[in-house]
């Protein structure tokens, strides 16, 4: 697995969203490394990490396991974990399955149950291969970007066919402080993103929620200043 690291202090692991990689989190790394040691991961099969022959059906859980492996490699007992979109799913799953190793979690632009219709629409839009996205994917992954996007498309289609439920009612197992953020105008998660995130917050004992009418998907990148300010306040106050 490939990762980028910057800063000193408490460890903050950043997990990229679907079709992204750590290279697109350089701005987050620069910002949060003012207070923390930041490590941004490329999931296996993506970015500069080793390729895999087949993407597993439990991709997001495997992502959580890879984040735990990075924690072990860095010889730290615990970490804060931040993810956006699909990376947020893995961040929450890490808090569920490795509770003793996650001290705080920031989950941006994800919901408990993704709309199958929205997932299929997202795949259809990707298959038009707009140049802006192709450039994004090539920077994220290199010349074999199309193979990776096709694998992720299949992942989303399988997720849609399974009903879009990512947690199976396990969110209540999260014991650490959790910040859930999103734009109410999120074009992928609409129309019930606000209601879903509130339901997620009800299940997580130490949750905080931040919803904004500005931005889109993901909120982390479409309104970066607002996201960074609220996430930085949450993370620094968690250990005050």
Q: Which residues contact 92 (CB under 8 A, 6 or more apart)?
A: 83, 105, 107, 110, 167, 171, 174, 178
User: Measured between alpha carbons, how far is 126 from 153 in angstroms, rounded to an integer?
Assistant: 8
Question: What's this model's pTM, rounded to 2 decimal places?
Answer: 0.97
What is the structure's pLDDT at 54?
Answer: 86
Question: Which residue is it, tokens 């697109």?
Answer: 24
10 Å CB burial of residue 162 (0-12, 13-18, 19+) is exposed
What is the structure's pLDDT at 191?
Answer: 86
Report the interhelical angle of 116-126 vs 145-161 (nearest 10°): 160
Sheet holding 37-41, edge to edge: 3-6, 37-41, 11-15, 79-84, 102-108, 178-183, 207-212
What is the structure's pLDDT at 23?
Answer: 98
Residue 58 structure tokens: 């439990």
DSSP string, 173-227: G--S-EEEEEETT-TTTTTSHHHHHHHHHHHSTTEEEEEESS--SSHHHHSHHHH
Each residue's pLDDT tens digit in the chain (240 positions)? 999 999 999 999 999 999 999 999 999 999 999 999 999 999 999 999 999 988 998 999 999 999 999 999 999 999 999 999 999 999 999 999 999 999 999 999 999 999 999 999 999 999 999 999 999 999 999 999 999 999 999 999 999 999 999 899 999 999 999 999 999 999 999 889 999 999 999 999 999 999 999 999 999 999 999 999 999 999 999 876
Residue 124 structure tokens: 């259809």
Question: Which residue is it, tokens 């998907």?
Answer: 217
DSSP-derived 3-state class of residue 166: coil
Residue 33 structure tokens: 């490394």
What is the structure's pLDDT at 238?
Answer: 85
Q: What is the CA angle 38-42-43, rounded to 5?
A: 125
- Strands 3-6 and 37-41 come out as antiparallel
């Amino acid at each position: 697995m490939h990762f980028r690291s910057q800063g000193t202090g408490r460890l903050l692991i950043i997990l990229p969203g679907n079709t992204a990689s750590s290279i697109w989190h350089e701005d987050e790394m620069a910002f949060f490394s003012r207070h923390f040691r930041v490590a941004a991961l490329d999931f296996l099969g993506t970015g500069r990490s080793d390729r895999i022959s087949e993407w597993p059906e439990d991709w997001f859980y495997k992502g959580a396991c890879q984040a735990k492996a990075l924690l072990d490699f860095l010889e730290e007992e615990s970490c804060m974990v931040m993810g956006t979109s699909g990376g947020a799913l893995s961040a929450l799953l890490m808090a569920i399955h490795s509770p003793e190793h996650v001290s705080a979690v920031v989950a941006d632009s994800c919901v408990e149950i993704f709309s199958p219709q929205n997932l299929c629409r997202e795949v259809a839009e990707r298959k038009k291969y707009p140049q802006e996205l192709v450039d994004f994917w090539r920077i994220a992954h290199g010349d074999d970007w199309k193979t990776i996007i096709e694998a992720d498309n299949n992942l989303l289609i399988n997720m849609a066919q399974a009903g879009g439920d990512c947690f199976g009612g396990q969110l209540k197992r999260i014991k650490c402080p959790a910040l859930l953020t999103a734009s109410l105008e999120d074009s992928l998660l609409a129309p019930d993103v606000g209601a879903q995130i509130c339901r997620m917050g009800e299940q997580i004992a130490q949750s905080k929620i931040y919803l904004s009418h500005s931005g889109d998907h993901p909120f982390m990148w479409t309104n970066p200043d607002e996201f960074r300010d609220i996430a930085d306040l949450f993370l620094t106050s968690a250990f005050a």
